[in-house]
């Protein structure tokens, strides 16, 4: 399991995937953390699929507005230049390819870039929310997650066992152990993070990895 430290490391690394001027959707959970690390040198507009373009920081107690939440249902503020709109417009934005980067959590990612992150059959019924639309809409899909499950089993696998959110949709996976690109030739390990070796990553990954680490 990732510690608070490794969650910060993942979020900080994910932030580097965001360019100045990008419109970005951050999924619920760990992806939300990325907002805390966006460089002040970048103008980045965060989209919330419940109808807000321009998520600001969490409110002070005085600023709390019950009618202003993010997709995780947390009270937020709107940043300067923000716009509100309805859910159809919000997903027109997402589905129409206008979001530059979506950073999502994952339960499993396959070597082809399939993503499973919405359901564990027989255990919980929650629903997919906007994830199935996001994976097909954003120009770049980055999954950030723990490298292995609570039981220590690989979450990056030849094939997903859980019900899919989308097929061949993930571009990059960032975990506490490294950064992996999904390419037409399979998974390519591009970066290994402090405290792990290339062999550590290979051993904890359930699919073949090509190694292209500049170290």
Partner 1 sequence: MKTIYKSAQEAVEPIQDGMTLMVGGFGLVGIPEQLILALVEKGVKDLTIISNNCGIDDWGLGLLLKEKQIKKMIASYVGENKEFERQALSGELEVELTPQGTLAEKIRAGGAGIPAFFTPAGVGTEIAEGKEIRVFNGKEYVLEESLTADFSLVRALKADTFGNLVYNKTAMNFNPMMAAAGNVTLAEAEEIVEVGQLEPGFIHTPSIYVQGLLQAEQEKRIERLTTR
Is 8 labeled as catalytic in the residue annotation? Answer: no
Residue 57 as a binder of partner 1 (CB under 8 A): the answer is: yes
Residue 91 as a binder of partner 1 (CB under 8 A): the answer is: yes
Strands of the 172-174 sheet, one edge to the other: 78-84, 52-55, 45-48, 23-26, 101-104, 140-144, 172-174, 178-183, 186-192, 209-211
CB of 172 to partner 1, least distance (A): 20
Residue 76 as a binder of partner 1 (CB under 8 A): the answer is: yes
Cα 159 to the chain's mean position, in Å? 19
Residue 87 as a binder of partner 1 (CB under 8 A): the answer is: yes
Cα 70 to the chain's mean position, in Å? 15
Of the residues 7, 12, 37, 84, which one makes contact with partner 1 according to CB under 8 A: 84
Catalytic residue among 8, 15, 17, 49: 49
Choose the binding region for partner 1 from 5-13, 83-91, 150-158, 184-192 (rule: CB under 8 A): 83-91
Q: Are 75 and 65 in contact (CB under 8 A)?
A: yes
Containing 144, the helix (H) or strand (E) segment is: strand 140-144
Pattern 4-33, partner 1, x by CB under 8 A: -----------------x-x----------
Toward partner 1, which CB reaches closer, 48 or 205?
A: 48
Of the residues 7, 12, 132, 186, which one makes contact with partner 1 according to CB under 8 A: 132
Of the residues 19, 83, 120, 211, which one makes contact with partner 1 according to CB under 8 A: 83
Rounded distance, CA 173 to CA 104, Å? 10
**Which 167-196 residues touch partner 1, going by CB under 8 A?**
167-168
Long-range contacts of 208-214 (CB under 8 A, 24+ apart): 208/111, 208/158, 209/180, 210/183, 210/185, 210/186, 212/188, 213/178, 213/189, 214/190
Q: Are 141 and 169 in contact (CB under 8 A)?
A: yes
**Chain residues in the site for partner 1 (CB under 8 A):** 21, 23, 43, 45, 47-54, 57-61, 64-69, 71-76, 78, 80-99, 114, 124-133, 136-137, 163-168
């Amino acid at each position: 399991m990732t510690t608070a430290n490794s969650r910060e490391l993942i979020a900080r690394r994910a932030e580097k995937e965001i360019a100045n001027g990008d419109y970005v959707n951050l999924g619920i959970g760990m992806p939300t953390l990325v907002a805390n690390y966006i460089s002040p040198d970048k103008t980045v507009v965060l989209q919330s699929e419940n109808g807000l373009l321009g998520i600001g920081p969490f409110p002070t107690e005085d600023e709390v507005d019950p009618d202003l939440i993010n997709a995780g249902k947390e009270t937020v503020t709107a940043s300067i230049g923000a716009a509100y709109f309805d859910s159809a417009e919000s997903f027109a934005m997402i589905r129409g390819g206008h979001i530059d980067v979506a950073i999502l959590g994952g339960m499993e990612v396959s070597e082809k870039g399939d993503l499973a992150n919405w359901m564990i059959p027989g255990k919980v019924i929650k629903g997919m929310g906007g994830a199935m639309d996001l994976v097909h809409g954003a120009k770049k899909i980055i999954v950030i997650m723990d490298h292995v499950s609570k039981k220590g089993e690989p979450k990056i696998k030849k094939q997903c066992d859980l019900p899919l959110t989308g097929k061949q949709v993930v571009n990059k996976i960032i975990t506490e152990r490294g950064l992996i690109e999904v390419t037409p030739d399979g998974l390519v390990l591009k970066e290994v993070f402090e405290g792990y070796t290339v062999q550590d990553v290979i051993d904890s990954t359930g699919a073949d990895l090509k190694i292209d680490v500049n170290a």
